[in-house]
């Protein structure tokens, strides 16, 4: 219903009680609800860990992360933190109306996000090859029954369930974030890029890898953004960049809790 | 967007033009240093609860820096800050209500 019908005066709106535009408030509300999703997943992980108890002061929960995994996860964290810096610089460029710098900083943010996804995918593949897996994942042909984490998967199935659930959900969010920024930076020209990514991910991963089937999410993403851009083609302004930035920083923020709680608390100290 | 929304977006953009660029680099540096400190702590053989407290404390500091500076919450109206952060904190704290049950499982010896 228009404001004319309500008040009888064209252009008379209620002032925003938060002092900002509604797109931003909408994104904040979404992020608050998404925080609860991750909060619930982290609570489930913590519940599983606590309920497994301790023996002689040491947790019985598996501590599978060798220094190689920790190094990998630290580099991933640095990628995300750097992507937050480049994102904030993209927002800054957009408010100054510098379209070229805005696009470059957005592309830099996407590059860091892609780096994070590739490293995380590599980490997952290594863990799966070493026996830490879920029943829905395929079995690598070179996997052997005596792999390091096969026993962990059998005796503490909650570990693999909560680990892959939590980090998988986060990886999905990072992927959606990269697509979102791609649309803001390149608009319709991002669609062929995304299709190329889909083909690389689909054809470049072996059939037993969970990423082989998951790569189709990129195809779904390409279809969805095609529909959105067809229904509402527009030039994105600084408010759109800022709102996209809020989403991206949130993805970074969530990792700041996953990294210590999941990786650092399960470090294998030899 | 209608005129009011455009005006609000322009006002927000105008405010952001005054945020010093160097602040973002400082925050980024501090976040990297805190991450390094977390990794260092992970390799210290300390009691589990103590390590959890320290790591969680550092994570909350990092989260506050990200929300405050990168997400610009520091520059929002106090109403916006209190309503969003207050409701989120209450909801997340309420999730901890399940943790005593996890301890109960340990004591009963059920897995």
With a cut of 70, say whether residue A57 has pLDDT above it.
no
Rounded CA separation A194/A219 (Å): 8
The DSSP 8-state label assigned to residue A15 in this structure reads P
In a domain, A3, yes or no: no
Q: What SS3 class is residue A211?
A: helix
- In this complex, do B84 and A250 lie within 8 Å of one another by their Cβ atoms? no
Rounded CA separation A162/A43 (Å): 10
Q: What is the pLDDT of residues B70-83, one digit of tens each?
A: 999 998 888 889 99
Rounded CA separation B71/A222 (Å): 28
Query: Is there a contact between A11 and A3 (Cβ–Cβ < 8 Å)?
Result: yes
pLDDT at A6: 42
With a cut of 50, say whether residue A10 has pLDDT above it.
no
pLDDT tens for each residue of chain B, 111 residues long: 677 777 777 777 777 777 788 999 999 999 999 999 999 998 888 888 888 899 999 999 999 999 999 999 998 888 889 999 999 999 888 888 888 887 777 777 655
**Mean of per-residue pLDDT scores for chain A:** 88
The DSSP 8-state label assigned to residue B16 in this structure reads H
Residue B59 has its nearest CB partner, among A19, A58, A256, at A256
Rounded CA separation A57/A89 (Å): 46
B16 touches chain A (CB under 8 A): yes
| CATH number of the domain enclosing A198 | 1.20.120.80
The DSSP 8-state label assigned to residue A140 in this structure reads P
ipTM confidence: 0.88
In a domain, A1, yes or no: no
Q: What is the pLDDT of residues A150-184, one digit of tens each?
A: 877 788 888 899 999 999 999 999 999 999 999 99
Q: Which residues of B touch A92 (CB under 8 A)?
A: 16, 19, 21, 24
First to last CA, chain A: 67
Count how many domains chain A has: 1
pLDDT at A2: 43
First to last CA, chain B: 55
In a domain, A62, yes or no: yes
Q: Which residues of A touch B70 (CB under 8 A)?
A: 84-85, 87-88, 245, 249, 252
In a domain, A2, yes or no: no
In a domain, A194, yes or no: yes
With a cut of 90, say whether residue A16 has pLDDT above it.
no
Q: What is the pLDDT of residues A119-145, one digit of tens each?
A: 999 999 988 888 888 888 887 777 666
Query: Is there a contact between A112 and A259 (Cβ–Cβ < 8 Å)?
Result: no
Top residue of B7, B14, B42 to mutate, by most chain A CBs within 10 Å, is B42
In a domain, A16, yes or no: no
Q: Which domain holds residue A227?
A: 23-266
Mean pLDDT of A228-238: 88
- In this complex, do B55 and A260 lie within 8 Å of one another by their Cβ atoms? yes
The structure tokens listed for B95 are 């999730």
Q: What is the pLDDT of residues A63-77, one digit of tens each?
A: 888 888 999 999 999
With b for 16 or more beta-carbon neighbours within 10 A and e for fewer, the A173-208 pattern comes to bbbebbbbbbbbbbeeebbeebbebbeebbeebeee
In a domain, A154, yes or no: yes
pLDDT at A58: 67
Question: What are the backbone dihedrals phi and psi of residue A120, each rounded to the nearest 5 degrees, phi first?
Answer: -70, -40
The structure tokens listed for A161 are 């369930």
């Amino acid at each position: 219903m228009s404001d004319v019908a309500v008040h009888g005066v064209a252009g008379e709106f209620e002032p925003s009680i938060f002092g900002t535009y509604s797109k931003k408030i909408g994104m904040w509300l979404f992020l608050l609800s998404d925080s609860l999703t991750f909060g619930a997943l982290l609570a489930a992980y913590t519940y599983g860990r606590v309920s497994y108890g301790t023996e002689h002061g040491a947790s019985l929960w598996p501590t599978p992360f060798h220094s190689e995994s920790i190094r990998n996860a630290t580099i991933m964290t640095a990628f995300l933190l750097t992507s937050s810096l480049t994102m904030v610089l993209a927002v800054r460029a957009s408010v100054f109306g510098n379209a070229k710098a805005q696009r470059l900083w957005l592309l830099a943010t996407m590059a860091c996000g892609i780096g994070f996804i590739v490293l995380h995918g590599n980490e997952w593949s290594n863990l799966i090859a070493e026996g830490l897996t879920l029943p829905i994942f395929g079995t690598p042909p070179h996997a052997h029954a005596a792999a390091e984490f096969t026993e962990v998967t059998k005796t503490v199935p909650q570990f693999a369930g909560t680990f892959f659930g939590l980090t998988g959900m986060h990886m999905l969010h990072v992927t959606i974030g990269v697509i979102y920024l791609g649309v803001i930076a390149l608009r319709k020209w991002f669609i062929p890029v995304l299709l190329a990514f889909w083909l690389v991910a689909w054809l470049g991963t072996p059939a037993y890898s969970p990423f082989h089937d998951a790569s189709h999410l990129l195809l779904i993403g390409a279809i969805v953004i095609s529909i959105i851009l067809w229904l509402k083609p527009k030039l994105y302004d600084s408010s759109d960049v800022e709102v996209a930035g809020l989403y991206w920083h949130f993805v970074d923020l969530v990792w700041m809790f996953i990294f210590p709680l999941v990786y650092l608390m399960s470090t294998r100290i030899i | 967007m209608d005129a009011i929304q455009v005006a609000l977006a322009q006002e927000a953009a105008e405010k952001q033009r005054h945020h010093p660029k160097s602040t973002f680099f400082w925050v980024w540096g501090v976040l990297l240093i805190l991450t390094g400190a977390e990794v260092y702590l992970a390799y210290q053989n300390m009691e589990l609860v103590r390590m959890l407290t320290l790591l969680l404390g550092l994570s909350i500091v990092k989260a506050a820096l990200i929300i405050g500076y990168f997400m610009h919450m520091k520059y929002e109206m106090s109403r916006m800050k209190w309503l969003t952060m207050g409701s989120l904190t209450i909801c997340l704290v309420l999730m901890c209500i399940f943790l005593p049950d996890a301890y109960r499982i340990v004591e009963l010896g059920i897995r």
